[in-house]
Each structure stands twice: as structure tokens, then as C-alpha cells.
Amino acid sequence: MSAVSEFKRSLLRWSQRFEEIVWLEGNGYPDAYGSFDAILAVGAYTAIRTSYYEAFEKLKKYRSESRDWLFGYLSYDLKNDIEELSSRNPDGLDFPELFFFQPKKIIRLRGNQVDFLYLEELADETEKDFHTIVSDSASGAPDQASLDIRIRMRIFKDEYFRKVQDMLAHIQRGDIYEANFCQEFYAEEAKIDTLRTFEKLNDISKAPFSAYLKAGNHFLLSVSPERYLKKMGTKIISQPIKGTARRSQNVMEDRVLKNSLAQDPKERAENIMIVDLVRNDLSKSAKKSSVKVEVLAKVYTFKQVHQMISTITAKVESNKDPIEMIRETFPMGSMTGAPKISAMKIIEELESFKRSLYSGSVGYFTPEGDFDFNVIIRSILYNAKKEYVSFSVGSAITALANPEKEYEECLVKAKAMREVLEGR
């Protein structure tokens, strides 16, 4: 293991003493818009936890008052604040629908450089903390995880097929063109070592938008390959994913799988539909005629899967409020469908669980108003107090969808999370 990798592991272990943690890691994946290799924020100086009701106005006020770095998450059900929708499906996780905190301590890694961005009154602790992190005695070993976890499915295969057929009927009637239909896998009375579980999941996935979050008894372990939205000065970037193919250990077969995905008319149609939706969303915030598709339906390779990704950018006015940019584009098009509001209503009607953080986003705001947020997919959610662990997967349903293939795609996406939790 390299010195940088070992430092990252020690840093994460050191962080476990805090009640609030956000760790964001790129895993060395090339990112033209990346600002760092990894960043850790710990310890809440101030924090906001709220339901969806007026959540964005509360966040806007909180950010204007703190004028500092903020780390946290946006749950999928903030849609209810934006579009006056509702969520009545079962929720085993019981996460606040919005959570952000102003960290006491931030540690940022870029190459071999480590920056300590501490509150002024804690600046004299940087040297002590650095030595604590790098010392073997301080890193400590995480608790032993229970491997006696039995994953259950919220719906079974036959019911999944029926619900997809219902969604196809909506498409045939013209209610929607596309919708992302998801299902939950869960376990009750589950005790997991969140850090060790995240390390295992991250080691086998090496995703570019991985995240570990702790907010008291609530945990997110995410190996997301997808960026929702980033702001750099007056430029905003969205990189939606639509189109997935499994990997193969056979080099020739793996190449065929990648090329087949690139040329698949259904997968390209799905991706292009979402690109159009994202372009429309960005245009609400963007300067006139500034929305551009920089990359269309390009296939990228990750450790577990091949993914089709597009990159859409736009220019915004320098005085545009960053919270408004998120409100105008949330939830992300890749996890909803088109038209967006109709798709969200049908999703709520047909899905059998409340998405909570799944399909939401975790990330940060800088003091200057820049931000970067991922899409919470390929993620494990855990309520330690309730001993409830959950992960969800989904796929885009269009008129060309084959229920059997969509079901298989869901199983491919679920594979790593299930293996890690069940200790296989």
C-alpha cells in the first residue's frame, strides 16, 4: 500500500471519534473538474437538520449566516419542497431530509500535499492532529463487523415485472417517456462496522465520487460513479449516467461488452433523453445560449461496471445564489425521468419504499459559493440506532425496456453491496 493510501486509511480511522463526518474521495480517477484527491470534514461547529418543508429556504439562510465551508446531504424527498409532492412509502431508515454542518476541522489532500483548514481558534491543533493521524497507535482498528446479515428484498421478481409493466403502460399512454424505477434491499437487526464496510466497498469499486458520511446514528457508505452538479466560479457542470453493462474478467469479452453498450440504441436513447432533461434544468440557472453538451453518451470503465456518461455545462451570473441552482435542478434527471414531475409522481406510486438519501446527493459548499455534489447510488445506508441497513438499485424504463434485462441490470448494480454486507 502506498504512503498516501495508508495516510487516507489512518485519516478515516482518526475521524471516527467525531459525531459528524464527511469523507469525499476520487480514488485517483481522472476528473477534468476535480478540485482535490480527497477531503475530510469533521466535528460540527454549527449544523442544520430539517424535514423537506421549506428546506431550501432554511439552507439558504444557514449558508448566508455561516459564510463558511458546509458539508452534508440532500435527500431525494426534497422534491416535496420543490414541487409540492408527497412521500408515503415505508421508511426504515428515518434520516433527516436535509443535513449540513459547518466543520471545525477540514483536511484536504491534493497529490502529496495535505492542507489543514481549521477554525481559527483550533489552528494550533493541526500539528498535534497530524502526528496523531500518522502514528500507528492512534489509528486504531475499527470494531468487528457482524457478518450475520440476511439481506431481504422489498419486492420479488414477479412483483418487479408487474410494476415495470405498469410503468410501460404509463409510457404507452404518453404520461412519461422514461422513468427510473428502483427497488430496496434491506436487513433488520443488523450491526455493521461502518468504516470497515466502507473500506471493503471502496476497495472493490474505486469510484470517482465515493463518500463516507456520519451524522450521529445515521451513516452513508457510497461508491458513486456519478456527479450530480458542480459549480466552479461561473461554470456549472452536470454528468448524468444512463446505460450500464457488466464487466468481465476475460479481456476480449469485456471489450465486447463495452462496445455493445456504446452502440446499444436503447441505452443511447435513454442517455440522450436525460441529457435533454438536464439541459432544460440547467437553462433555468444559466446565461442565455450558454448550455452546452461537451461529451455525449461516452462509455467509461469502472471496476464493477461500464457506464455511459454525458457532460453538460453552462455559464451562470456571478451573483446567482448557489442554493437556487440546486433547487432548480433537483432531484437529478438521471434518477427521475421525463417529464420530470410526472415521472416522480409515477415513481412514488409504483415503488415500495421511501428513497431517503438514495437518489439524493452528498457534497459541500465552499465559502465562495462553489459546490460539488454526487448522486447517491451504489450506496449503503445505515441507521445504527434502529439497526436497519439498506441499499437500493434501479434502472431506466423506456418504451424499449425488457423487464428481464432491467431486473438483471439491477442485480449487477446490487452485487458489490450485497457481497460486502453478507461477507461473501
How confident is residue 304, by pLDDT bands cut at 50, 70 and 90?
Answer: confident
* Residue 139, pLDDT score: 46
Distance (Å, rounded) from C-alpha 386 to C-alpha 217?
A: 9
Q: What is the pLDDT of residues 39-56, one digit of tens each?
A: 999 999 999 999 999 999
Residue 200 reports pLDDT greater than 70: yes
Q: What is the pLDDT of residues 2-12, one digit of tens each?
A: 888 999 999 99
Q: What is the pLDDT of residues 119-175, one digit of tens each?
A: 999 999 999 999 999 985 444 455 555 557 999 999 999 999 999 999 999 999 999
Residue 406 reports pLDDT greater than 50: yes
Is the residue at 28 inside a domain?
yes
Is the residue at 424 inside a domain?
no
* Residue 137, pLDDT score: 46
Q: pTM for the complete prediction? A: 0.95
Please state which of the ranges 90-99, 138-147, 233-242 shows the lowest mean pLDDT.
Answer: 138-147
Distance (Å, rounded) from C-alpha 4 to C-alpha 291?
A: 38
Is the residue at 364 inside a domain?
yes
Domain count, the chain: 1
**Residue range 189-209: mean pLDDT, rounded:** 95
- What domain range is 165 assigned to? 3-419
Is the residue at 45 inside a domain?
yes
Please, what is the average pLDDT of the chain? 94
Q: Catalytic site residues?
A: 226, 242
Is the residue at 294 inside a domain?
yes
Is the residue at 295 inside a domain?
yes
How confident is residue 423, by pLDDT bands cut at 50, 70 and 90?
Answer: confident
Is the residue at 25 inside a domain?
yes
CATH of residue 367: 3.60.120.10
Distance (Å, rounded) from C-alpha 146 to C-alpha 312?
A: 43
**Residue range 284-311: mean pLDDT, rounded:** 95
